[in-house]
């Protein structure tokens, strides 16, 4: 007889955990101790399901690194007792949280599946029930006794994505997420079809938790007409230590000397600059065009095909652990868990 998978569901907040208060007509969080009453389909899943929930649910717009530390801590504390984890989370910042957790949980060998919904679970047309049920199935899925998806992933609307490759695409449709630079990990139809060649292999090393963040970072998104005054004030932000440059095309930026000079001054002050593209698909190739050659020369680091969500969360972690520029550059440009080409 096959041993049941044990899955821990962690509810942080978000639309999926809401039901209608029929006295007031407003939405309120439901008691996750009685989750099977709201989702009776869970009784048919042949897994042991346990739940933990934040006493005060967090709207995903209010998520902070402290939230990630709390979730990662719950996973680490319960790691040996469960075969997989399902994180219920608001969709707005889910890609940031999935990216952060993927970098925090080094040597992960069990599934950590983020999911949520666009409509509350207590609404008739909710997408939450299918998202939750399938995320649980994936979290407990094994082949020859080993988990099929031993990584941090996002499941939404019949598709499973690598967590640190996701971006929220749509605020209205059920298909809320996309992974532009990496194939989906699984597609859920009549069966769940796993794209096994694209899933990270299991590791034998012991799980390591990296949970320190340096939040003295910022994003500089370029636009035509950006002024010297704006750039100068931006880089004079107190305690600024890292900046994700959100550039055009394959990593292109203004080639005007004043712009290059301001970036160079920032780098000389010790501010780390990481270049990623505003394009949804493709990657940064510094030096392909004249407008990016200057960036490479002064020490701007290429983020290649990282998402904004992965770039900013990884930078927070790296800057908390490393201070020397060469060490920071090495860490930002090496792949921790499939976030970069």
pLDDT for the residue numbered 29: 73
Q: What is the DSSP string of 77-90?
A: HTGGG-SEEEEE--
Q: 3, 12, 15, 93: which one is catalytic?
A: 15
Quick one: DSSP state of residue 322? Answer: -
In this prediction, residues 277-293 reach a mean pLDDT of: 87
pLDDT for the residue numbered 3: 57
Residue 158 has pLDDT above 70, yes or no: yes
Reading the block at residue 60, the tokens are: 């995903």
In this prediction, residues 39-55 reach a mean pLDDT of: 90
Q: pLDDT above 70 covers what percent of the chain?
A: 96
Enter the CATH code of domain 6-209.
Answer: 3.40.50.1170
Residue 14 has pLDDT above 80, yes or no: yes
* Mean pLDDT, all residues of the chain: 93
* Banded pLDDT at 290 (limits 50, 70, 90): confident
pLDDT for the residue numbered 112: 98
pLDDT for the residue numbered 1: 33
Residue 238 has pLDDT above 60, yes or no: yes
Radius of gyration of the chain (CA): 21
In the chain, which residues fall in CATH 3.40.50.40? 217-333
In the chain, which residues fall in CATH 3.40.50.1170? 6-209
Residue 194 has pLDDT above 90, yes or no: yes
pLDDT for the residue numbered 102: 98
The predicted-structure confidence for 64-106, as pLDDT tens digits, reads as follows: 999 999 999 999 999 999 999 999 999 999 999 999 999 999 9
Q: What does pTM read for this prediction?
A: 0.94
Reading the block at residue 126, the tokens are: 């909710």
Q: Is 15 a catalytic residue?
A: yes
In this prediction, residues 173-182 reach a mean pLDDT of: 90
Distances (CA, A) of 303 to 165, 257, 322: 13, 23, 17
217-333: which CATH number, 3.40.50.40, 3.40.50.2300, 2.30.110.10, 1.10.10.10? 3.40.50.40
| Cβ neighbours around 305 below 10 Å, total | 21
pLDDT for the residue numbered 34: 65
pLDDT for the residue numbered 122: 73
The predicted-structure confidence for 105-122, as pLDDT tens digits, reads as follows: 999 999 999 999 988 877
Distance CA 41, CA 286 (A): 51
């Amino acid at each position: 007889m096959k041993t049941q998978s044990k899955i821990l569901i962690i509810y942080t907040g978000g639309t999926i955990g809401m039901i209608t208060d029929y006295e007031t007509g407003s939405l309120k969080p439901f008691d996750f101790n009685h989750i099977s009453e709201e989702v009776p389909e869970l009784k048919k899943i042949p897994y042991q399901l346990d739940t933990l929930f934040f006493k005060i649910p967090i709207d995903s717009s209010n998520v902070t690194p402290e939230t990630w530390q709390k979730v990662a801590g719950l996973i680490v504390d319960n790691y040996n007792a469960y075969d997989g984890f399902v994180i219920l989370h608001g969709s707005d910042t889910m890609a940031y949280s999935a990216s952060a957790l993927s970098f925090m949980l080094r040597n992960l060998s069990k599934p950590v599946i983020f999911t949520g919904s666009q409509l509350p679970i207590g609404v008739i047309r909710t997408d939450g029930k299918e998202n939750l049920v399938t995320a649980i199935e994936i979290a407990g899925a094994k082949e020859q006794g080993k988990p099929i998806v031993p990584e941090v992933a996002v499941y939404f609307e019949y598709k499973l994505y690598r967590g640190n490759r996701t971006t929220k695409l749509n605020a209205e449709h059920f298909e809320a997420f996309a992974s532009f630079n990496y194939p989906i990990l699984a597609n859920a139809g009549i069966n769940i079809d796993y794209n096994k060649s694209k899933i990270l292999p299991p590791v034998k090393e012991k799980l390591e938790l990296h949970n320190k963040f340096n939040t003295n970072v910022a994003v500089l998104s370029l636009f035509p007409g950006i002024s010297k005054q704006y750039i100068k004030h931006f880089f004079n932000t107190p305690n600024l230590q890292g900046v994700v440059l959100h550039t055009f095309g394959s990593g292109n930026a203004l080639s005007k000397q004043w712009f290059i000079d301001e970036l160079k001054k920032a780098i000389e002050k010790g501010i780390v600059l990481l270049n990623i593209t505003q394009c949804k698909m493709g990657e940064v190739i510094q030096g392909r065009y004249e407008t990016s050659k200057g960036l490479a020369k002064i020490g701007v680091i290429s983020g290649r095909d990282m998402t904004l969500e992965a770039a900013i969360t990884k930078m927070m972690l790296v800057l908390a652990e490393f201070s020397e520029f060469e060490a920071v550059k090495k860490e930002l440009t090496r792949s921790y868990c499939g976030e970069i080409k």
